[in-house]
Amino acid sequence: MSFAWIVLLALHAQIAAPIVAQTAQAAATPTERSLSLEEAVAMALEHNESIVIQREDLVSAEAAGLRAHGAYDPLLGVQADYLRSNEPVNSPFSGAPAPRAAPTFKTYETLFSLDQLLPTGGSLAFRANASRQTTDGTFVLLTPAYGTRVGVEFRQPLLRGLSIDPARLALKVAAADRSRSAASLRKEVTRIVAAVEDGYWSLVSARQAVGVREEAVALADEQLSQTRARVDQGAAPKTEISQPTAEIERRRGELYAAHEALSRSENALKRLIYDAGNVALWVPRLAPADDPNITPERVDSQDLESTMKRALDQRPELAESKAEIERRRAEAAFADNLRKPGLDAFVSYDRLGLSGDLVDLDPNSPFTVLIPDYIEGGLGRSLAQLGEGRFDDTRAGVVLSVPIGNRAARGEAGIAAAAKRQAEAGLDGVRKMVLAEVLDAAAGVDTAAQRVETARAAREAAGVQLSAEHDRYVAGLSTNFLVLTRQNDLSNARLEEIAALTDYRRARTEMARATGSLLEERRIQVEDGAGGKDAK
């Protein structure tokens, strides 16, 4: 490779074009894997463990919402029992057969209940039971006797528990937690995408830096060859060889350091996009396939205000804070509601039935007992009476409970109100943070764009200076020191251009993140529902 060709390359080629060409060629080798930025982002969204954790947090929040709705599931209760009672009676009319002091009762009973919590905070309960009782007592009309009962009761709080109760609090908290988890997932996806883009362009920069260091070594080697030729011709002393020789070794040391930095950049990106399940994926080198060249654009200051307003609407951190406020407001409302006295209204209605086999009455008894004929019969007769409505029971009333002092509720209300105010203040702090980040990102984009322009101009000037200095050296009007210095100036200018272009890429990513538009610009959808892939 001739020296003139290298100088021409440095002067006229775009800074990234040769590196991209080298990357495309290297991608064909089995030791490297060609990787586009879009592929890297997709792999990170699929394998990154922090997204998996955040996704499961959303699944957990949805399960908590399902659990909260479970408070309104009807509760069915079934009970069956047997009772044998032989309780002594302190009366001459115990009805017990002689010579015992108490009759014996044997009862089989089955109870059914269905309870339903209502959205108003009230409750509705349905209950039914049937029993069969036998006895050897003489003061009964029926044995076995079949008793039945069916009824409904409605209870509604009028003060405490009217506007909010534990079930409705759980629903509000679950909804707020789900909103927070969805916002956290979106924030984490945004963070990972930004980190992958940063790592990708850092890898591109590291590969370009290796190319610059390799060319610097080649330039020094060419200068050493020319110096040897001059020494062989007697145009220069032998000591002239020491300076380009020392410079080659110094530049090789920089090349080794650049290779290490490249490896570290690759490993950092692999950490983001790979999982630990397939070790073989970690071995090949990564060869970025995207062209790093871009035309820098500055931020339109006229549109900055609308950009800041858009950020206040789109940033997931604000959605997180708003969800926290909703939770704290619900908790404060519930705690404040507990300060009210309890006043519940209730109404119930029951129908009853009774039937059985008539006992044999003593014909010598002085008492006359008239028994309706609709009582005699089995369990079916008792059930039929429920429909006939011969026996019923109606109740209505209110229950008042007033905690004296109620210090526990007042203290809880104070704690909840303070937590709500803290959450509201936290939202204001997040808004300020978002606005400041947008301004910082805009300044970063402008600065990086200006740096790219100046770095390109400096690189072009350094190439011209090197060419002129080399021509002077060939004419015998310059020294190795000056030529090598100009070569270092060109390498530094190229590295500065690479750094400026990389910083501009990072600044554009940070601007998109700060405004909350990164996922939209990259066409990445974050699904809020559980059970599927949340980011794609």
At 96 the pLDDT is 81
What is the rounded distance in angstroms from the CA atom of residue 34 to the CA atom of residue 23?
Answer: 8
Task: Answer whether 85's CB lies under 8 Å from 104's CB.
Answer: yes
Residues 6+ apart with CB under 8 A from 433: 317
Looking at the structure, tell me whether residues 228 and 365 fall in a common domain: no
pLDDT of residue 25: 41
- CA of 373: how far to CAs of 130, 138, 357, 370, in Å? 21, 20, 11, 9
Show Cβ contacts of residue 494 under 8 Å, excluding neighbours closer than 6 positions.
10, 15, 212, 459, 462
Do 391 and 350 share a domain, yes or no? yes
Phi/psi of residue 457, nearest 5 degrees: -65, -40
- Size of the chain in residues: 536
pLDDT for the residue 535: 52
Domain-located, residue 484: yes
Residue 257 belongs to a domain? yes
CATH code for the domain of 277: 1.20.1600.10
pLDDT of residue 233: 86
Residues 279 and 354 in one domain: no
Distance (Å, rounded) from C-alpha 90 to C-alpha 101?
A: 8
Q: Which long-range contacts does 360-366 make (Cβ < 8 Å, 24+ apart)? A: 362/138
Q: Are 182 and 279 within one domain?
A: yes
Per-residue tokens: 136: 């050897």
Evaluate whether residue 527 is within a structural domain: no
DSSP 490: H
On whether both 350 and 315 belong to a single domain, the answer is: no
Residues 396 and 421 in one domain: no
Query: Rounded to whole angstroms, how far apart are CA atoms 240 and 481?
Result: 10
Residues 52 and 129 in one domain: no
End residue of a domain, out of 401, 424, 449: 401
Would you write out the chain's pLDDT as a tens digit for each of its 536 residues?
333 333 333 333 333 334 333 433 434 345 889 999 999 999 999 888 888 899 999 999 999 999 999 999 999 999 999 999 988 888 777 778 877 888 999 999 999 999 999 999 999 999 999 999 999 888 888 889 999 999 999 999 999 999 999 999 999 999 999 999 999 999 999 999 999 999 999 999 999 999 999 999 999 999 999 989 888 888 888 888 999 999 999 999 999 999 999 999 999 999 999 988 888 889 999 999 998 888 888 888 788 999 999 999 999 999 999 999 999 999 999 999 999 999 999 999 999 999 998 887 666 666 666 778 888 889 999 999 999 999 999 999 999 999 898 999 999 999 999 999 999 999 999 999 999 999 999 999 999 999 999 999 999 999 999 999 999 988 888 888 999 999 999 999 999 999 999 999 999 999 999 999 999 999 998 876 544 444 55
Residue 506 resides in a domain: yes
For residue 338, what is the DSSP state? T
In a domain, 7, yes or no: no
Query: Token match 């009782």: residue?
Result: 133
* Same-domain check for residues 283 and 143: no
Domain span at 138 = 78-117+122-160+343-401
Q: Could you tell me the CA-to-CA distances from 128 to 25, 125, 164, 377, 534 in Å, in that order?
A: 83, 10, 30, 20, 49
* Residue 218, domain member (yes or no): yes
Which of 354, 371, 401 is the endpoint of a domain?
A: 401
In single-letter form, the type of residue at position 27 comes to: A
Cα separation, 367 vs 362, in Å, equals 9
Domain assignment present for residue 297? The answer is yes
CB of 167 within 8 A of CB of 71? Answer: yes
Q: Is residue 319 part of a domain?
A: yes
pLDDT at 17: 38
Q: What are the structure tokens assigned to 518, written together?
A: 């990164």
Q: Are residues 513 and 450 in the same domain?
A: yes
Helix ranges (H only) for 233-241 are none
Residues 502 and 358 in one domain: no
Three-class HEC string of 24-48: HHHCCCCCEEEECHHHHHHHHHHHC
Q: Residue 30: what pLDDT?
A: 54
Looking at residue 141, what is its pLDDT? 85
Query: By C-alpha distance, which of 187, 185, 205, 186 is closest to 269?
Result: 205
Strand order in the sheet with 142-157: 75-85, 105-117, 123-135, 142-157, 342-358, 391-401
Return the H-helix or E-strand segment holding 63: helix 49-69
* pLDDT for the residue numbered 199: 95
47 burial via Cβ count (<10 Å: 0-12, 13-18, 19+): middle
Q: Quote the pLDDT of residue 505.
A: 94
Number of independent structural domains in the chain: 2
Considering the domain architecture, whether residues 319 and 351 belong to the same structural domain is answered as: no
Residues 318 and 349 in one domain: no
Q: Which of 253, 269, 299, 271 is nearest to 196 (CA)?
A: 269
Spatial separation of the C-alpha atoms in residues 52 and 54, rounded to whole Å: 5
End-to-end distance of the chain based on CA atoms, in angstroms? Answer: 47
In this structure, are strands 123-135 and 105-117 parallel, antiparallel, or unpaired?
antiparallel
Which pLDDT score, from 0 to 100, does residue 100 have?
A: 81
Distance of CA 199 to the CA centre of its chain: 23
